[in-house]
Amino acid sequence: MSNLQVSVYRYNPETDSAPYMQEFQVDTKGRDLMVLDVLHLMKEQDSGLAYRRSCREGVCGSDGMNMNGKNGLACITPLSDVVKGNKLTLRPLPGLPVIRDMVVDMGLFYKQYERIQPYLQNDTPAPAIERLQSPEERDKLDGLYECILCACCSTSCPSFWWNPDKFVGPAGLLQSYRFLADSRDTATRERLTSLEDPFSVFRCRGIMNCVAVCPKGLNPTRAIGKIREMLLADAT
Amino acid sequence: MSNLRSLTFDAIIIGGGGSGLRAALELAKSGKKTAVLSKVFPTRSHTVSAQGGITCAIASADPDDDWRWHMYDTVKGGDYIADQDAAEYMCSEGPKAVFELEHMGLPFSRFDNGRIYQRPFGGQSKNFGEGGQAARTCAAADRTGHALLHTLYQNNLKNNTTFLNEWYAVDLVKNASGDVVGCIAMCIETGEVVHVKSKATVLATGGAGRIYASTTNALINTGDGIGMALRAGFPMQDMEMWQFHPTGIYGAGTLVTEGCRGEGGYLVNKDGERFMERYAPNAKDLAGRDVVARSMVMEILEGRGCGEKGDHVFLKLDHLGEEVLGKRLPGIVELSKTFAHVDPAKDPIPVVPTCHYMMGGIPTNIHGQAITQDENGNDHIVNGLFACGEAACVSVHGANRLGGNSLLDLVVFGRAAGMFIEGALNEGIEYLDASESDIEFAMKRITRWNESEEGGESIPELKAQLQDIMQNSFGVFREEKNMQEGVKKLADLRERIGKAHLPDKSNAFNTARVEALELDNLMEVAEATAIAALERKESRGAHSRYDYPDRDDVNWLKHSLFFPATKELKKRDVNFKPKTVDTFEPKVRTY
């Protein structure tokens, strides 16, 4: 038998008064499928099952979800990585309002991203060609610009669960540092000023769940540490 | 009166990928009331998957580089049915558009002198094919599409663009004069259907690679704009021209960038032979994609394929060393470990030609204005309708697109459409309002699904059959009888899709309804592709026929134009009149 037991979070606001877990039997034919493939097989059984997906190769960030207790991307998570005892439990990303089934309202997450002004600011006139940047300067953006906004990190962060409106969260702060670290950006002072309050950055308690779950192997905790250093240096 | 709520904009841009966001940025800066309507949050669009780079003569790797050389490569790569005025515009405007992206913050990789890093890609030459391999593809490691898409989204945030995210455009609304005056759209989260009124409707809906069973394309690439335009009665150009990328990961279909070969990787058959040396003695692994894909299939058919079934070849990268792989191709290392269970620093990646890109699409001029043709073969502008990016056929790619030219196409023509629409809005646009029956016509399809009854076939099953037909009859090599059968099967499938059943009719985030609506679009794209492929009786670029193995410039140095009402294929002249350079005359295409 290659039947996998999948327990999945269901909630349709039109018909359900409360969410519930539904059991599925999925025939994997013994293959080490990705979790997203398993969701497709489940959707063939019940077309009403709702989840987001797009690139199916881990670069678009649509299918962040909680798989056997850990956040990750369904499309690049093989069953062998998460399944224990032939059982898989799938829940939406924790801490955000559920719209339907595995689909969460990402509004708060995006709002924190927008708050850090995630775009290059440079108040000098643009040259006729590109702005020059040395390979060493450019290297500083590695590990920062690759974020895919999947929200796996922020929704695994207890500080973000408690204060999603005031704590920027690991994803937003990683992006904030991506611009602070960019040799072409001239808004460093303004960026730091907007983060000075006790919540925006300093609610990070260094729990490092963000680092443990990031499907792109990025390290928001390190970026947050760098922002703290800059804030402290700025204050003295 | 219609009980649909209506939203009114100066311009509505359908699609939040590279071309849509670039057009939106231009319009947002102009202060026009603009919205981007996208079925996914914009950074989930397929542009995000582009890897290798954006090809453009910015003269960084080679200070003497010239956009005219890039134009020559593009026209030759397209097997001479690229429109030369459009290729001229793209290649000459390109540097400006790329520098703008850099100024917006795109984190390009760099050379030691601080300029943007450029790598060699297939089909690139210096001095009009006489000066050897060029390195013209600007890259942000192997994540250029991701960097580009996020940068454009970020700059739209900066300029306060209005976004209708997770909204699905159902069909175009045409008025009594045949002008496009908006669309019917559905908010996916609530299921509400609204009438979007606009003076300019831009289809930036991307490609449709999901008509094939094996594709590098995202699951969302279902040709929604193509389906909408065909149902509204507008013709499609060069739909037989589908690019099969040489290096999709065997089994999974995920893309491995041509940049791997640009950085020095090469393909080998089961004997370990670097077989491209036989097929393209000069460019070898960096010949045009159509040439490389065909060569791979020949190797496989002649028994030199790799693996137990001999049905793929290997891409060898280990000789590049971990440092180059880590620096220049980090995403590929990741993808290949995940989907092929191979560490390219040690072992070769199993690859196979995989559907990648739609060269055809909605015919447009360089301003993005959609074009149709009257009975006498004369071009006419379609009022109110625009297209850019992969959904459009402007045509810069002709019969075969060069690597790195799609990202350039997106930004150059997204920008051009935005600029043109701004000007047109400033001059003033007045079209007749849509009537009740015009709106009802555009609502027909969603109404049909909502009223569909049990007994009809299942949507995923029909989709799988469509993909198999396309894969088996309209792949890398094509032949009359097989294609005729394919066309017949598609006609049968169209009827069955017309009776298919949507079991879930709920409103909140109903992804089954979206997939039903997407299936209609896949059907439209598949049919246009099939009929165009059957009727073009020659081999050119990506369209390769066993029964007509040669290029036929006497009869087919033309665009094909598929008309949905009659399902006929007509011809349209290719533009051979660039404004500032001499025409590139068709030559035998060798690499």
How many residues belong to chain A? 236
Q: How many CB atoms lie within 10 A of CB A20?
A: 10
Q: Please state, in angstroms and as integers, the Cα–Cα distance from residue A94 to each residue in A45, A124, A205, following that order.
A: 26, 43, 18
Q: Is the pLDDT of residue B176 over 50?
A: yes
How many Cα atoms are found within 13 Å in the side-chain-facing hemisphere of B263? Answer: 29
Residue A5 touches partner B, C-beta closer than 8 Å? no
Residue A148 touches partner B, C-beta closer than 8 Å? yes
- Buried-exposed string A186-220: b where 16+ CB fall within 10 A, e elsewhere: ebeeebbeebeeeebbbbbeeebbbbebbbbebbb
Give me the residue spans of the domains in chain A.
Answer: 3-104, 107-235
Among B68, B119, B261, B289, the one annotated catalytic:
B289
pLDDT of B1: 46
Q: Is the pLDDT of residue B400 over 50?
A: yes
Contacts of B140 in chain A (CB under 8 A): 145
Closest-CA distance, B206 to chain A, in angstroms, reads: 13
Please name the residues in contact with B361: beta carbons below 8 A apart, sequence gap of 6 or more.
Answer: B226, B236, B237, B238, B239, B387, B390, B391, B392, B393
Q: What is the largest CA-CA distance in chain A?
A: 67
Tell me how far apart the alpha carbons of residues B208 and B521 are, in angstroms, rounded to a whole number.
9
Tell me if A57 and B150 make a contact (CB, 8 A cut-off): no
Tell me if A58 and B504 make a contact (CB, 8 A cut-off): no
Tokens of B472: 């088996």
At B436-490, the pLDDT tens digits run 999 999 999 999 999 999 998 999 999 999 999 999 999 999 999 999 999 999 9
B43, B103, B107: residue with CB nearest A138: B107
DSSP string computed for B435-502: PHHHHHHHHHHHHHHHT--BTBPPHHHHHHHHHHHHHHHSSSSB-HHHHHHHHHHHHHHHHHHHT---
Tokens of B124: 């690139």
Reported confidence tier of residue B402, pLDDT bands at 50, 70, 90 = very high
At B519-560, the pLDDT tens digits run 999 999 999 999 999 999 999 999 999 999 999 999 999 999
**pLDDT cut 90: percent of chain B above it:** 99
Tell me how far apart the alpha carbons of residues B205 and B234 are, in angstroms, rounded to a whole number.
16
Q: Is the pLDDT of residue B155 over 80?
A: yes
Tell me how far apart the alpha carbons of residues B266 and B269 are, in angstroms, rounded to a whole number.
10
Residue pair B58/A131 in contact by the 8 Å Cβ criterion: no
Nearest Cα residue to A160 out of A112, A97, A114: A112
Q: How many CB atoms lie within 10 A of CB B538?
A: 18
At B309-336, the pLDDT tens digits run 999 999 999 999 999 999 999 999 999 9
Q: How many CB atoms lie within 10 A of CB B437?
A: 9
Closest-CA distance, A48 to chain B, in angstroms, reads: 6
> Which of A45, A57, A93 would best serve as a mutation to test chain B binding (most B beta carbons within 10 A)?
A57
- Block residue for tokens 């070969």: B261
| Nearest Cα residue in chain A from B57 | A129
- Alpha helices per DSSP H over A8-47: 35-45
Tokens of B526: 């598949």
B289 is catalytic: yes
A43, A53, A135: residue with CB nearest B112: A135
Tell me how far apart the alpha carbons of residues B194 and B197 are, in angstroms, rounded to a whole number.
9
Between β-strands B558-563 and B236-237, what pairing exists: parallel, antiparallel or unpaired?
antiparallel
| Four-point Cα dihedral B587, B122, B294, B279, nearest 10 | 70
How many Cα atoms are found within 13 Å in the side-chain-facing hemisphere of A180? Answer: 25
Closest-CA distance, B1 to chain A, in angstroms, reads: 28
Strands across the sheet with B133-138, in order? B54-55, B133-138, B118-125
The helix or strand, by DSSP H or E, that contains position B164, with its residue range, turns out to be strand B162-165
B58, B107, B508: residue with CB nearest A100: B508
Contacts of A76 in chain B (CB under 8 A): 338
The number of C-beta contacts closer than 8 angstroms across A and B is 153
Tell me if A145 and B99 make a contact (CB, 8 A cut-off): no
Domains A3-104 and A107-235 share a fold: no
Tell me if A59 and B331 make a contact (CB, 8 A cut-off): yes
Reported confidence tier of residue B82, pLDDT bands at 50, 70, 90 = very high
Coil/strand/helix, residue B349: strand
A107-235 to CATH, choices 3.30.70.270, 1.10.357.10, 1.10.1060.10, 2.30.38.10? 1.10.1060.10
**pLDDT cut 70: percent of chain B above it:** 100
Tell me how far apart the alpha carbons of residues A179 and A22 are, in angstroms, rounded to a whole number.
43
DSSP string computed for B535-552: H--S-BTTB-BSSS-S--
Beta bridge partners of B244: B355
Nearest Cα residue to B217 out of A32, A60, A20: A60
Closest-CA distance, B16 to chain A, in angstroms, reads: 13
Q: CA triplet A102, A105, A111: central angle to 5 degrees?
A: 145
Beta bridge partners of B54: B138
Residue type at position A171: A
User: What is the CATH code for A3-104?
Assistant: 3.10.20.30
pLDDT of A234: 79
Tell me how far apart the alpha carbons of residues A152 and A182 are, in angstroms, rounded to a whole number.
25
Tell me if A14 and B507 make a contact (CB, 8 A cut-off): yes
Tell me how far apart the alpha carbons of residues A57 and B251 are, in angstroms, rounded to a whole number.
13
Residue pair B205/B14 in contact by the 8 Å Cβ criterion: yes
Closest-CA distance, A73 to chain B, in angstroms, reads: 12
- Alpha helices per DSSP H over A61-116: 79-82, 107-115
Coil/strand/helix, residue B312: strand
| Nearest Cα residue in chain B from A179 | B105
Tell me how far apart the alpha carbons of residues B63 and B76 are, in angstroms, rounded to a whole number.
23
- Alpha helices per DSSP H over A67-140: 79-82, 107-115, 135-139
Beta bridge partners of B569: B562
Q: How far is the first Cα of chain B from the last one, in angstroms, to the nearest whole number?
A: 62
Q: Is the pLDDT of residue B2 over 80?
A: no
Nearest Cα residue to B110 out of A140, A155, A174, A56: A140
Contacts of B151 in chain A (CB under 8 A): 119
Residue type at position A111: K
Q: How many CB atoms lie within 10 A of CB B503?
A: 14
Q: What are phi and psi of A142, to 5 degrees?
A: -65, 140
Nearest Cα residue to B18 out of B425, B422, B421, B404: B404
Reported confidence tier of residue B108, pLDDT bands at 50, 70, 90 = very high
- Peptide bond before B395: cis, by omega within 30 degrees of 0? yes
Q: How many CB atoms lie within 10 A of CB B485?
A: 13
Between β-strands B162-165 and B34-38, what pairing exists: parallel, antiparallel or unpaired?
parallel
pLDDT of A235: 76
Q: What is the mean pLDDT of each run of 10 residues along chain A (236 residues)?
A: 89 97 96 96 96 98 98 98 95 98 98 98 97 98 98 98 97 98 98 96 97 98 98 84
Q: What are phi and psi of B478, to 5 degrees?
A: -130, 160
Helices B18-30 + B144-158 axis angle, to 10 = 20
